[in-house]
Structure 1
Protein backbone atom coordinates (compact mmCIF):
# COMPACT_ATOMS: atom_id res chain seq x y z
CA UNK A 1 0.00 0.00 0.00
CA UNK A 2 1.38 3.41 -0.99
CA UNK A 3 1.85 5.71 2.02
CA UNK A 4 -0.16 8.96 1.91
CA UNK A 5 1.60 11.95 0.39
CA UNK A 6 2.49 14.70 2.81
CA UNK A 7 0.65 17.94 1.99
CA UNK A 8 2.76 20.70 0.47
CA UNK A 9 3.84 23.38 2.92
CA UNK A 10 3.64 27.04 1.84
CA UNK A 11 5.62 29.67 3.74
CA UNK A 12 4.84 33.35 3.26
CA UNK A 13 7.82 35.66 3.73
CA UNK A 14 6.88 39.26 4.45
CA UNK A 15 9.71 41.59 3.43
CA UNK A 16 10.19 45.18 4.53
CA UNK A 17 9.42 47.01 1.28
CA UNK A 18 5.98 48.29 0.37
CA UNK A 19 3.18 47.04 2.63
CA UNK A 20 1.33 44.16 0.97
CA UNK A 21 -1.98 45.13 -0.61
CA UNK A 22 -5.32 43.84 0.61
CA UNK A 23 -5.59 41.92 -2.68
CA UNK A 24 -2.29 40.16 -1.99
CA UNK A 25 -3.39 39.23 1.53
CA UNK A 26 -6.69 37.88 0.17
CA UNK A 27 -4.84 35.70 -2.38
CA UNK A 28 -2.65 34.01 0.23
CA UNK A 29 -3.39 30.36 1.05
CA UNK A 30 -5.35 29.74 4.23
CA UNK A 31 -3.40 29.58 7.51
CA UNK A 32 0.07 30.00 5.98
CA UNK A 33 3.29 29.73 7.94
CA UNK A 34 4.51 33.36 8.05
CA UNK A 35 8.12 34.48 8.36
CA UNK A 36 8.77 38.23 8.66
CA UNK A 37 12.02 39.89 7.64
CA UNK A 38 12.76 42.78 10.02
CA UNK A 39 10.43 45.70 9.09
CA UNK A 40 8.22 43.13 7.35
CA UNK A 41 7.00 42.36 10.86
CA UNK A 42 5.24 45.75 10.92
CA UNK A 43 3.53 44.90 7.63
CA UNK A 44 2.52 41.43 8.83
CA UNK A 45 1.09 42.69 12.12
CA UNK A 46 -0.81 45.49 10.34
CA UNK A 47 -2.27 42.93 7.91
CA UNK A 48 -3.43 40.71 10.77
CA UNK A 49 -1.09 37.84 9.87
CA UNK A 50 0.09 35.51 12.62
CA UNK A 51 3.88 35.46 12.38
CA UNK A 52 5.69 32.27 13.32
CA UNK A 53 9.21 33.72 13.14
CA UNK A 54 10.66 37.21 12.73
CA UNK A 55 14.26 37.31 11.57
CA UNK A 56 16.82 40.06 10.98
CA UNK A 57 18.90 42.64 12.81
CA UNK A 58 15.65 44.34 13.91
CA UNK A 59 17.00 47.79 13.16
CA UNK A 60 13.89 48.99 11.36
CA UNK A 61 11.02 47.18 13.05
CA UNK A 62 8.84 49.30 15.32
CA UNK A 63 8.83 48.59 19.07
CA UNK A 64 5.03 48.28 18.92
CA UNK A 65 5.10 45.54 16.26
CA UNK A 66 7.88 43.73 18.10
CA UNK A 67 5.92 43.79 21.35
CA UNK A 68 2.72 42.61 19.64
CA UNK A 69 4.58 39.75 17.97
CA UNK A 70 6.32 38.64 21.15
CA UNK A 71 3.02 38.66 23.06
CA UNK A 72 1.43 36.49 20.37
CA UNK A 73 4.20 33.89 20.59
CA UNK A 74 6.32 34.87 17.59
CA UNK A 75 9.88 33.56 17.77
CA UNK A 76 12.39 36.37 17.27
CA UNK A 77 15.73 35.50 15.63
CA UNK A 78 18.07 38.47 16.01
CA UNK A 79 21.22 38.88 13.93
CA UNK A 80 24.01 41.47 14.30
CA UNK A 81 23.75 44.55 12.06
CA UNK A 82 27.18 43.88 10.53
CA UNK A 83 26.25 40.76 8.57
CA UNK A 84 26.88 39.44 5.07
CA UNK A 85 23.22 38.62 4.33
CA UNK A 86 20.21 40.86 3.95
CA UNK A 87 17.23 40.33 6.24
CA UNK A 88 15.28 38.87 3.30
CA UNK A 89 18.03 36.37 2.59
CA UNK A 90 17.99 35.25 6.22
CA UNK A 91 14.20 34.87 6.04
CA UNK A 92 14.44 32.84 2.82
CA UNK A 93 17.09 30.61 4.36
CA UNK A 94 14.70 29.83 7.19
CA UNK A 95 11.64 29.47 4.95
CA UNK A 96 13.40 27.07 2.56
CA UNK A 97 14.01 24.67 5.45
CA UNK A 98 10.28 24.57 6.20
CA UNK A 99 8.55 24.87 2.85
CA UNK A 100 7.82 23.28 -0.50
CA UNK A 101 6.69 26.67 -1.79
CA UNK A 102 7.64 30.19 -0.72
CA UNK A 103 5.64 33.31 -1.53
CA UNK A 104 7.42 36.61 -0.84
CA UNK A 105 5.32 39.74 -0.36
CA UNK A 106 6.41 43.28 0.48
CA UNK A 107 9.54 42.95 -1.65
CA UNK A 108 8.95 46.08 -3.76
CA UNK A 109 9.29 49.76 -2.93
CA UNK A 110 12.04 51.53 -1.09
CA UNK A 111 15.53 51.53 -2.55
CA UNK A 112 16.31 50.33 -6.07
CA UNK A 113 19.43 48.49 -4.90
CA UNK A 114 17.33 46.55 -2.39
CA UNK A 115 14.82 45.56 -5.09
CA UNK A 116 17.56 44.36 -7.47
CA UNK A 117 19.28 42.46 -4.67
CA UNK A 118 16.03 40.93 -3.46
CA UNK A 119 15.01 39.67 -6.91
CA UNK A 120 18.45 38.16 -7.44
CA UNK A 121 18.52 36.43 -4.08
CA UNK A 122 15.23 34.71 -4.90
CA UNK A 123 17.17 32.61 -7.43
CA UNK A 124 19.92 31.47 -5.07
CA UNK A 125 20.93 27.83 -5.50
CA UNK A 126 20.67 27.51 -1.71
CA UNK A 127 16.90 27.04 -2.09
CA UNK A 128 16.89 25.34 -5.47
CA UNK A 129 14.56 22.61 -4.20
CA UNK A 130 11.77 25.04 -3.29
CA UNK A 131 9.29 26.81 -5.58
CA UNK A 132 9.74 30.55 -4.99
CA UNK A 133 7.78 33.52 -6.25
CA UNK A 134 7.44 37.17 -5.27
CA UNK A 135 4.29 39.26 -5.46
CA UNK A 136 4.64 43.00 -6.07
CA UNK A 137 1.10 44.37 -6.18
CA UNK A 138 -0.29 43.17 -9.51
CA UNK A 139 3.15 42.03 -10.67
CA UNK A 140 4.69 38.65 -10.02
CA UNK A 141 8.23 37.26 -10.30
CA UNK A 142 8.53 33.47 -10.47
CA UNK A 143 11.80 31.55 -10.18
CA UNK A 144 11.96 28.73 -12.73
CA UNK A 145 14.28 25.76 -12.45
CA UNK A 146 13.39 22.60 -14.30
CA UNK A 147 9.73 22.87 -15.29
CA UNK A 148 7.03 25.24 -14.14
CA UNK A 149 3.58 26.24 -15.34
CA UNK A 150 2.47 29.83 -14.79
CA UNK A 151 -1.19 30.73 -14.33
CA UNK A 152 -2.05 33.93 -16.22
CA UNK A 153 -4.81 35.33 -18.39
CA UNK A 154 -4.20 34.85 -22.14
CA UNK A 155 -2.69 38.03 -23.53
CA UNK A 156 -0.72 38.74 -20.34
CA UNK A 157 2.85 39.94 -20.78
CA UNK A 158 5.47 37.45 -19.59
CA UNK A 159 9.16 38.40 -19.57
CA UNK A 160 11.95 35.89 -19.01
CA UNK A 161 15.32 36.83 -17.54
CA UNK A 162 18.29 34.50 -17.13
CA UNK A 163 19.97 35.04 -13.76
CA UNK A 164 23.55 34.21 -12.83
CA UNK A 165 24.51 33.02 -16.31
CA UNK A 166 23.02 31.71 -19.55
CA UNK A 167 19.92 29.54 -19.31
CA UNK A 168 18.65 26.96 -21.80
CA UNK A 169 14.90 27.41 -22.13
CA UNK A 170 11.93 25.79 -23.85
CA UNK A 171 8.47 27.37 -23.67
CA UNK A 172 4.94 26.55 -24.78
CA UNK A 173 1.88 28.76 -24.53
CA UNK A 174 3.79 31.96 -25.33
CA UNK A 175 3.40 33.95 -28.52
CA UNK A 176 7.12 33.74 -29.34
CA UNK A 177 8.24 30.28 -28.18
CA UNK A 178 11.74 29.23 -27.26
CA UNK A 179 12.80 25.74 -28.31
CA UNK A 180 15.80 24.58 -26.29
CA UNK A 181 17.37 28.00 -26.85
CA UNK A 182 19.85 29.92 -24.73
CA UNK A 183 18.83 33.10 -22.96
CA UNK A 184 21.81 35.25 -22.06
CA UNK A 185 21.53 37.42 -18.91
CA UNK A 186 23.00 40.41 -20.77
CA UNK A 187 20.36 40.57 -23.52
CA UNK A 188 16.69 41.59 -23.63
CA UNK A 189 15.51 38.75 -25.86
CA UNK A 190 13.11 37.34 -23.25
CA UNK A 191 11.38 40.66 -22.56
CA UNK A 192 7.68 41.26 -23.39
CA UNK A 193 6.52 37.88 -24.58
CA UNK A 194 2.79 37.22 -24.36
CA UNK A 195 0.73 34.32 -23.03
CA UNK A 196 -1.52 32.52 -25.52
CA UNK A 197 -2.94 30.05 -22.96
CA UNK A 198 -3.92 30.29 -19.26
CA UNK A 199 -0.96 28.07 -18.26
CA UNK A 200 2.21 28.77 -20.25
CA UNK A 201 4.86 26.12 -19.65
CA UNK A 202 8.51 27.02 -19.06
CA UNK A 203 11.24 24.36 -19.00
CA UNK A 204 14.77 25.32 -17.99
CA UNK A 205 17.24 22.52 -18.63
CA UNK A 206 20.31 24.58 -17.68
CA UNK A 207 20.55 27.62 -15.43
CA UNK A 208 17.77 29.56 -13.75
CA UNK A 209 15.16 31.98 -15.11
CA UNK A 210 13.05 34.68 -13.48
CA UNK A 211 9.64 34.87 -15.15
CA UNK A 212 8.16 38.31 -14.58
CA UNK A 213 4.46 39.10 -15.07
CA UNK A 214 4.35 42.91 -14.84
Structure 2
Protein backbone atom coordinates (compact mmCIF):
# COMPACT_ATOMS: atom_id res chain seq x y z
CA UNK A 1 0.00 0.00 0.00
CA UNK A 2 1.52 3.34 -1.03
CA UNK A 3 1.52 6.49 1.10
CA UNK A 4 -1.60 7.94 -0.58
CA UNK A 5 -3.60 4.77 0.02
CA UNK A 6 -2.36 4.66 3.63
CA UNK A 7 -3.67 8.16 4.29
CA UNK A 8 -7.00 7.63 2.57
CA UNK A 9 -7.64 4.54 4.70
CA UNK A 10 -6.40 5.85 8.06
CA UNK A 11 -8.59 4.88 11.01
CA UNK A 12 -7.26 7.70 13.19
CA UNK A 13 -9.99 10.17 14.18
CA UNK A 14 -7.61 13.16 14.31
CA UNK A 15 -4.82 14.34 12.00
CA UNK A 16 -3.06 17.64 11.32
CA UNK A 17 -2.24 19.60 8.18
CA UNK A 18 0.84 21.83 8.23
CA UNK A 19 1.08 24.80 5.87
CA UNK A 20 3.79 27.27 4.85
CA UNK A 21 2.95 30.20 7.18
CA UNK A 22 4.57 30.77 10.56
CA UNK A 23 2.68 29.58 13.64
CA UNK A 24 3.14 29.02 17.37
CA UNK A 25 5.20 25.83 17.59
CA UNK A 26 3.52 25.03 20.88
CA UNK A 27 0.40 24.15 18.87
CA UNK A 28 2.12 21.35 16.94
CA UNK A 29 0.85 17.92 17.92
CA UNK A 30 2.19 14.38 17.66
CA UNK A 31 -0.24 13.31 14.93
CA UNK A 32 -0.15 11.83 11.44
CA UNK A 33 0.43 14.86 9.23
CA UNK A 34 -0.13 16.23 5.75
CA UNK A 35 2.62 18.71 4.85
CA UNK A 36 1.37 21.25 2.33
CA UNK A 37 4.18 22.65 0.17
CA UNK A 38 6.23 24.99 2.40
CA UNK A 39 4.94 22.99 5.35
CA UNK A 40 7.72 20.52 4.48
CA UNK A 41 10.00 22.62 6.71
CA UNK A 42 8.42 20.75 9.64
CA UNK A 43 9.34 17.33 8.24
CA UNK A 44 12.08 16.71 10.82
CA UNK A 45 10.15 17.95 13.84
CA UNK A 46 10.55 15.34 16.62
CA UNK A 47 6.81 15.41 17.38
CA UNK A 48 5.97 13.91 14.00
CA UNK A 49 9.19 12.00 13.37
CA UNK A 50 7.55 8.61 13.93
CA UNK A 51 4.18 9.54 12.46
CA UNK A 52 2.84 8.93 8.98
CA UNK A 53 3.61 11.95 6.78
CA UNK A 54 2.71 12.89 3.23
CA UNK A 55 3.78 16.05 1.37
CA UNK A 56 1.64 17.67 -1.32
CA UNK A 57 1.66 20.92 -3.29
CA UNK A 58 2.89 22.64 -6.43
CA UNK A 59 6.33 23.39 -5.00
CA UNK A 60 6.14 27.18 -5.08
CA UNK A 61 6.83 27.61 -1.34
CA UNK A 62 8.95 24.54 -0.64
CA UNK A 63 12.51 25.65 0.14
CA UNK A 64 13.66 22.39 1.76
CA UNK A 65 15.68 19.49 0.37
CA UNK A 66 12.65 17.23 0.71
CA UNK A 67 10.49 16.26 -2.23
CA UNK A 68 6.71 16.30 -2.51
CA UNK A 69 4.92 12.96 -2.60
CA UNK A 70 2.18 14.48 -4.76
CA UNK A 71 3.07 17.39 -7.04
CA UNK A 72 0.27 19.54 -8.43
CA UNK A 73 0.58 21.66 -11.58
CA UNK A 74 1.56 25.27 -10.91
CA UNK A 75 -1.23 26.57 -13.15
CA UNK A 76 -4.07 24.68 -11.50
CA UNK A 77 -7.67 25.68 -10.72
CA UNK A 78 -7.52 24.65 -7.06
CA UNK A 79 -5.41 25.42 -4.00
CA UNK A 80 -2.83 23.14 -2.44
CA UNK A 81 -5.06 22.97 0.64
CA UNK A 82 -8.01 21.76 -1.43
CA UNK A 83 -5.83 19.05 -2.89
CA UNK A 84 -4.68 17.95 0.57
CA UNK A 85 -8.27 17.57 1.78
CA UNK A 86 -8.78 14.83 -0.80
CA UNK A 87 -6.53 12.65 1.39
CA UNK A 88 -8.74 12.85 4.49
CA UNK A 89 -10.22 9.44 5.28
CA UNK A 90 -13.90 8.84 5.99
CA UNK A 91 -12.99 7.83 9.57
CA UNK A 92 -11.43 11.19 10.40
CA UNK A 93 -13.46 13.34 12.81
CA UNK A 94 -11.19 16.34 13.35
CA UNK A 95 -8.29 18.07 11.64
CA UNK A 96 -5.90 20.63 13.08
CA UNK A 97 -4.48 23.13 10.61
CA UNK A 98 -1.31 25.07 11.37
CA UNK A 99 0.43 27.50 9.04
CA UNK A 100 -2.58 28.71 7.04
CA UNK A 101 -3.24 32.06 8.75
CA UNK A 102 -1.47 35.38 9.09
CA UNK A 103 0.00 36.17 5.68
CA UNK A 104 -1.99 36.93 2.51
CA UNK A 105 -5.58 37.75 3.49
CA UNK A 106 -6.98 36.46 0.21
CA UNK A 107 -5.31 33.10 0.82
CA UNK A 108 -6.61 33.09 4.39
CA UNK A 109 -10.19 33.71 3.24
CA UNK A 110 -9.86 31.10 0.49
CA UNK A 111 -8.68 28.55 3.07
CA UNK A 112 -11.65 29.25 5.37
CA UNK A 113 -14.12 28.98 2.49
CA UNK A 114 -12.53 25.76 1.26
CA UNK A 115 -12.69 24.23 4.73
CA UNK A 116 -16.34 25.26 5.02
CA UNK A 117 -17.10 23.51 1.73
CA UNK A 118 -15.31 20.40 2.98
CA UNK A 119 -17.27 20.41 6.26
CA UNK A 120 -20.55 20.69 4.36
CA UNK A 121 -19.93 17.18 3.04
CA UNK A 122 -19.35 15.70 6.52
CA UNK A 123 -21.22 15.32 9.78
CA UNK A 124 -20.01 15.81 13.37
CA UNK A 125 -16.69 16.97 11.93
CA UNK A 126 -14.48 19.73 13.34
CA UNK A 127 -11.71 21.83 11.81
CA UNK A 128 -9.40 23.77 14.14
CA UNK A 129 -7.33 26.55 12.55
CA UNK A 130 -4.55 27.14 15.07
CA UNK A 131 -6.13 28.52 18.25
CA UNK A 132 -8.20 31.14 16.45
CA UNK A 133 -10.92 29.66 14.23
CA UNK A 134 -13.12 26.56 14.28
CA UNK A 135 -15.31 25.29 11.46
CA UNK A 136 -18.09 22.93 12.55
CA UNK A 137 -19.94 20.64 10.17
CA UNK A 138 -23.66 19.98 10.57
CA UNK A 139 -24.18 17.79 13.63
CA UNK A 140 -23.48 17.89 17.35
CA UNK A 141 -20.31 19.23 18.92
CA UNK A 142 -18.88 19.69 22.41
CA UNK A 143 -16.39 22.55 22.71
CA UNK A 144 -14.34 24.15 25.45
CA UNK A 145 -14.34 27.93 25.07
CA UNK A 146 -13.01 30.27 27.74
CA UNK A 147 -13.33 33.82 26.50
CA UNK A 148 -14.96 35.98 23.86
CA UNK A 149 -16.09 34.33 20.63
CA UNK A 150 -18.30 35.01 17.62
CA UNK A 151 -20.20 32.68 15.29
CA UNK A 152 -20.98 33.19 11.61
CA UNK A 153 -22.86 31.29 8.92
CA UNK A 154 -22.07 31.40 5.21
CA UNK A 155 -25.60 30.26 4.39
CA UNK A 156 -28.86 30.11 6.33
CA UNK A 157 -28.33 27.98 9.42
CA UNK A 158 -30.28 27.01 12.53
CA UNK A 159 -28.13 26.48 15.62
CA UNK A 160 -28.49 25.75 19.33
CA UNK A 161 -25.81 26.48 21.93
CA UNK A 162 -26.02 25.73 25.64
CA UNK A 163 -23.69 25.13 28.55
CA UNK A 164 -21.17 27.56 29.97
CA UNK A 165 -21.76 30.66 27.86
CA UNK A 166 -23.28 34.08 28.41
CA UNK A 167 -25.87 34.00 25.62
CA UNK A 168 -27.41 30.54 25.00
CA UNK A 169 -29.17 29.99 21.69
CA UNK A 170 -32.14 27.70 21.06
CA UNK A 171 -32.97 26.85 17.44
CA UNK A 172 -31.67 30.28 16.46
CA UNK A 173 -31.79 31.10 12.77
CA UNK A 174 -28.51 32.65 11.63
CA UNK A 175 -28.80 34.48 8.35
CA UNK A 176 -25.87 34.36 5.92
CA UNK A 177 -23.00 36.77 6.54
CA UNK A 178 -24.83 38.65 9.33
CA UNK A 179 -23.42 39.98 12.63
CA UNK A 180 -26.16 38.26 14.65
CA UNK A 181 -23.67 35.86 16.28
CA UNK A 182 -21.12 38.52 17.22
CA UNK A 183 -19.52 38.66 20.69
CA UNK A 184 -20.60 35.85 22.98
CA UNK A 185 -18.58 34.74 26.02
CA UNK A 186 -17.74 31.17 26.99
CA UNK A 187 -16.51 29.96 30.37
CA UNK A 188 -16.10 26.22 29.83
CA UNK A 189 -17.96 23.40 28.10
CA UNK A 190 -20.40 24.44 25.36
CA UNK A 191 -22.71 22.10 23.45
CA UNK A 192 -23.44 23.12 19.88
CA UNK A 193 -25.99 21.73 17.45
CA UNK A 194 -25.55 22.81 13.84
CA UNK A 195 -28.04 22.15 11.06
CA UNK A 196 -27.98 23.04 7.41
CA UNK A 197 -24.50 24.39 6.81
CA UNK A 198 -21.11 24.72 8.52
CA UNK A 199 -20.65 27.19 11.37
CA UNK A 200 -17.59 29.43 11.74
CA UNK A 201 -16.40 30.23 15.26
CA UNK A 202 -13.83 32.98 15.81
CA UNK A 203 -12.03 32.77 19.16
CA UNK A 204 -10.99 36.18 20.48
CA UNK A 205 -8.76 35.35 23.42
TM over 0.5: yes
Contact residue 162 and residue 185 of structure 1 kept, 8 A = yes
Question: What TM-score do you get using the length of structure 1 for normalisation?
Answer: 0.79
Distance change in 2, residues 1:9/1:179 (3 Å): closer
SS at match of 1:195: strand
Determine the structure 1 residue equivalent to 2:199: 209
Paired with 2:157 and 2:11, the residues of 1 have a C-alpha distance of 31
Matching residue of 2:18: 14
2:150 aligned to 143, 148, 159, which one?
A: 159
Cα distance, 1:90 vs structure 2: 1.0
Distance 1:10 1:52 in 2: 14
2:94 aligned partner: 101
Structure with greater strand share of residues: 2
Structure 2 CA distance for aligned equivalents of residues 111 and 199 of structure 1 = 33
Contact in 2 for aligned 1:57/1:80 (Cα 8 Å): yes
Post-superposition shift, 1:140?
Answer: 3.5
Q: Is the Cα–Cα contact under 8 Å of residues 54 and 77 in structure 1 kept in the other structure?
A: yes
Root mean square deviation of aligned Cα: 2.3
Go from structure 1 to structure 2 and tell me whether the alpha carbon gap of 1:98 and 1:171 turns closer, same or farther (over 3 Å shift).
closer
Distance 2:124 2:44 in 1: 28
Q: What is the correspondence of 1:138-177 to structure 2 with a 5 Å cutoff?
A: 138-153=131-146, 156-163=147-154, 165-173=155-163, 174-177=165-168
* Residue 185 (structure 1) shift: 2.2
Shift in Å at residue 134 of structure 1? 2.7
The residue aligned with 1:3 is none
Q: Deviations over 1:147-194 (max 9, x none)?
A: 1111123xx11211102x111111112211221111112211111111
- Count of aligned residue pairs for this structure pair: 190
In the other structure, the counterpart of 1:24 is 27
Structure 2 segments unaligned to the other structure (5+ residues): 1-9
Which residue in the other structure is 2:60 paired with? 59
Q: Is 1:87–2:80 an aligned residue pair?
A: yes
For structure 1, the residue ranges without an aligned partner over 5 or more in a row are 1-5
C-alpha distance in structure 2 between counterparts of 1:200 and 1:16, whole Å: 32
1:179 is paired with a residue whose SS is: strand
- 1:124 Cα deviation after fit: 1.4
Assess if the C-alpha contact under 8 Å between 2:123 and 2:137 holds in 1.
no
Task: Assess, with a 3 A threshold, how the Cα gap between structure 1 residues 130 and 118 changes in structure 2: closer, same or farther.
Answer: farther
